[in-house]
A and B are shown apart, each in its own frame.
Chain A
Amino acid sequence: MTDIRSFDTPKDAGFGDYVQLLKPRVMSLVVFTAMVGLLVAPVRLHPVEAFTAILFIALGAGASGALNMWWDADIDVIMRRTKGRPVPAGMVEAGEALAVGLALSGISVVMLALATNILAGALLAFTIFFYAVVYSMWLKRSTPQNIVIGGAAGAFPPMIGWVAATGSVSMEAALMFMLIFMWTPPHFWALALFMNEDYSKAGVPMLTVTHGKKVTRNHVLGYTIALIPFAVALGFTSIGGPVYLTVSALLNLEFLRGAYRIWKRDEVVAEADKYKVEKSVFRFSLLYLFLHFGALLVEAVLHGQGMGSW
């Protein structure tokens, strides 16, 4: 008897491969910041509405991740950091990534608008458009300022969370947006300093590739200094307080110290210790953002107990 296996293809996507299309690690940051934006807002949503809002904000972010993987399949296969993604690895076809991205975009925007309000849904739609079209298709391959402007896409989730609860944009929401927006350049440029080769091979005009590492080091310090006023100002709004301000002051001092150390170093020293400082600043930048939003959450709890506010 003949064993016919004409269908026996080695690559056939499992459910996990489709989950990977949504960039779950990025989604976890979106879930956290959107949740904080929603919980610190002065209007309380029903828990089911709040859960639905956060779920579909996260799904919208995932959808934009899938669209990004569809568009960037050609460069993802070149970069070491991204060649294991489902599309370059051959698990999911690029067209499928596009279909998943478009379908989830529609579902998440409509469901967020139905569960909360039209403005929140419209902001989510704009965020997906901004990440997939403005950043991925336009800026990423055309300018070294790609992550500065593209960072806006990652900065919207806490604002969407706030708008989902209150129905309007306020100073607090704008400052939460600015905190992530200004944090993105030093965070990514610290990464680019020790992942330079990847971007260089793929032809992505990261600042390290187009202007060199010295200029990138200057930019890391410059953007870190520019970030501090926004991070601290959030402490003086209705969602801030002494706890947030103390945490923010300490974190900003440490981040500034790290950025200064990056600025002071040259390539010879950095290569000698395998970019030890750059790697530690990159890791600290993740903690920086997490603790800022964590402190806002603590303030919200204290405000609920009648403590903490100014």
Chain B
Amino acid sequence: MAFKPEHEMHRRRFSRNVGVGIALGCFVALVFALTVVKVKNGDMMHANDAPGLLGSTQPIVPAPAPATNP
């Protein structure tokens, strides 16, 4: 007797796999689109923007010279 891979259980499992695959694909596309929008909007692109840090957009301001007594 032939094995029947097209049993309803297989159909359901296939629908589950396709559904999860599409959902994950959409999630990746959404995260990508969101990243593009955030970057274009000029949101902060790294965690720390402290002056002097590698890649920082903040210039290093020299500390004021200490006052000298005459």
Contacts and interface: CB of A to CB of B under 8 A. Distances in A.
Given A1-B1, A7-B9, A46-B41, A16 B33 contact: no
A15 B1 contact: no
A52 interface: yes
A15 B34 contact: no
Nearest to B9: A12
Interface string A187-215: 00000000000000000000000000000
A17 to B, nearest CB: 8
Given A1-B1, A9-B9, A15 B15 contact: yes
Interface string A1-35: 10100011100111110110000000000000000
A296 B30 CA distance: 28
Nearest to B13: A12
Nearest to A91: B12
Interface of A: 1, 3, 7-9, 12-16, 18-19, 46, 48-49, 52, 55, 114-115
Nearest to A114: B34
Contacts of B50: none
B34 A18 contact: no
Contacts of A19: 19
B9 A8 contact: yes
A14 B34 contact: no
Contact of B37 (A3, A15, A18, A49): A49
Given A1-B1, A18-B19, A46-B41, A12 B34 contact: no
Nearest to B41: A46
Name the interface size band of chain B.
10 to 19
B41 A14 contact: no
A7 B9 CA distance: 9
Contacts of A49: 34, 37
A14 B19 CA distance: 9
Contacts of B36: 48
B19 A15 contact: yes
B15 A14 contact: yes
B46 interface: no
By Cβ-Cβ distance, the 4 closest A-B pairs, closest first, are A15-B19, A14-B12, A14-B15, A12-B9
A121 to B, nearest CB: 14
A13 B9 contact: no
Contacts of B33: 48
Contacts of B20: 15
21 contacts: A1-B1, A3-B1, A3-B3, A7-B9, A8-B9, A12-B13, A13-B12, A13-B16, A14-B11, A14-B15, A14-B19, A15-B16, A15-B18, A15-B20, A46-B37, A48-B33, A48-B34, A48-B36, A48-B37, A49-B37, A55-B30
